[in-house]
Amino acid sequence: MQQASQLNEAINYARQIQPHTALYQQAQVKIKQWSQMILDIAQGRAIIGDFQGAIAAVKLVLPIINN
């Protein structure tokens, strides 16, 4: 889960960028891209039968999806 965890860290960092800053829109785009990458990782894990790994990856993006 190393890669998914690293993407999640990047997402958490990008979420700290304030709406009134110049980088906010770019951060929002990156958050969506990285979230999709985590979901892709989860899907790949599920395909090979690593259901625990897939669930762990999905849990990383659930707080993002729910916001």
pLDDT, block means (10 residues), the chain with 67 residues: 85 96 97 95 96 93 68
Please give the pLDDT value at position 65: 63
List all residues 6 or more positions away from 11 whose beta carbon is below 8 Å from its beta carbon: 30, 31, 34, 35, 61, 64
Please give the pLDDT value at position 43: 96
Please give the pLDDT value at position 45: 95
Q: Provide the residue range defining the domain that includes 29.
A: 2-65
Please give the pLDDT value at position 64: 66
> What's the total number of domains in the chain?
1
Please give the pLDDT value at position 66: 55
